[in-house]
Chains A and B, each alone.
Chain A
Amino acid sequence: MLPMTRQKLLPYSFLLPALAITGVVIIYPVFQTLLLSVQNYVLYAPDEARYIGLQNFQKLLKDEVFWISLSHSVIWVTSIVLFQLLLGLGSALLLNQSFWWRGLARALVIVPWALPSVIIGLIWTWIYDYNVGVLNDLLLRAHLIDQPVAWLSHPQTSFAAIMLTLVWQGFPFFAVMILAGLQTVPQELYEAARIDGATAFRQFWHVTLPSIAGIMATAVLLRIIWVANSLDIILVMTGGGPGYATYTLPLYAFLRAYSEMEFGYAAALALVMTVLLLGIVFLYVRRQAKELA
């Protein structure tokens, strides 16, 4: 082989192992999902699976549970990400001030994010327990409620209860990201603002916020994608119940596959969800590509 061609092929040979595995575990499954979504594939009868065109998608449009799950997902993602952002921003601004135990506080605030989702589900199910849960105990002692509430088995409270759990899990991510952004804001900007007589609020509004807007936007986009995709904590805590009260789109797709074994229909659901998310993914990738260039 000519040395020139070898030189050209070298980077591809470095990439090959990663591409090969990714091809098997990601690209192939994506195409399989496309194929499954136009079949009536049921796991225990794979031989009876046949091409049914777009019937899965037509069924989906008339599926009440799909629409319930979709609307839950929209409310779910918007409110969780919003609260995570606000709490994370507040935490980051505070942790950026100087006080003697700041290092310790910065290290410890991250703990919820490090925990496995199964453990998070377990901890919070225990906290929300109707009979001996600590949340009921605290609220009763504070006279905020008169009698214990069955947080996870009431349709009205279960959705909010799980949302609180996810806010708790995810706000450290925002705190850490925004804190990293805050540390890059040049001190001179604040000094200049102070000389011009800007109040603390105006400094925040005109100096801090514009400087961290980019990193906040990146964090929000990433978080939207993850929260929209996440289903393990709901699965552990309520499994979607009571009734359909805590169904979201990924959970519904998963349950159709896992409990009903309807892989064809579940694939169609997963596909619709992915398409709905693609817009956000596109925005995120465009931001990252810019940073790369």
Chain B
Amino acid sequence: MDTFTEFFGTTGFATMTWGNAIMIVIGIVFIMLAIMKDYEPLLLVPIGMGAIVGNIPTADDMGLSVYDSGSVLYYLYFGVSQGVYPPLIFLGIGAMTDFSTMLSNPKLVLLGAAAQVGVFLTFLGAIWLGFSFQEAGAIGIIGGADGPTAIFLAAKLAPSLLGAIAIAAYSYMALVPVIQPPIMRLLTTREERLIRMAPPRKVSKREKMIFPVVAFLISTLIAPGAVVLLGMMFFGNLLKESLVTDRLARTARSAMIDIVTILLGFSVGASTQAETFLTRQSLQIFGLGALSFAIATAGGVLFAKLMNLFLTEKINPLVGAAGVSAVPDSARVVQMVGQQEDPHNFLLMHAMAPNVAGVVGSAIAAGVLWSVLT
């Protein structure tokens, strides 16, 4: 009987806290959102399951959690804590990204820069709320709407906030179709939403091959902190566009990115243990994250309107919202909102240009913050 009582004391039922129970419910909600609403299922299912696994209480001396040195989860989490997984995901993103729309209309690149205003204003907001400069930098990058970049920078600048930042970044990426449309409608008139843009020109193979090398050189000579993320992304793109390494490109954009996504999502989820995650700071991070997405969307739309004052061939300002680099979700939202006004207006291709420029822009912003704050 003593053995049974002793054993019962080590079970999850006996050691479960309210915090653990709440986190397990959050994990289940993530999985349900992914399955029932199709919100970023490739990320929310691993993160949700990871949150459930990470919140099963275990005896302290068993050493099973991501924070217990030598445990299996610790090794899986190593790729997150040391910033290994995000560059590998960037390799896959590069191998699946077609920069043609950006190459055919270079002025749309500026919208990807304008949306980064969300990063830097959120950085200021986080400092105002009492976070340290390093923590504020890691929180601000949520506004870049790029999960791997947010994880990479949080691992470097504020490892203690990594779980909350990663969950906030991926949750808001999943909620792009909910957050962006009201802001886009609020900041544009019907006439502006009806603007049709000229179809993009055909881009030659040579342009596509030269672009990743030169764009890498330009961006990383200016912001060397972005060398790992952008190096891997443009390398992936070169594998795709060089036409001679198709096997490598296919592996990078399929099997490899899938494996890393599983490991990253699951271990980030497992790091959200109640005692480290359910804090006042996490709530503040979630608030700031929502704000940063809203500011980034508004920044892109307003900058497109500003550009229209000087352009003869007008840009549909909705396209500016795609500067938030949630690829391809924010571009899809632009298409959806545009087609609600005019079902024959196809903005998706145009929106992909600021969308991929936004990925480059947020990686540069992360590089700048990393360089300045370390």
Partners in one complex: no
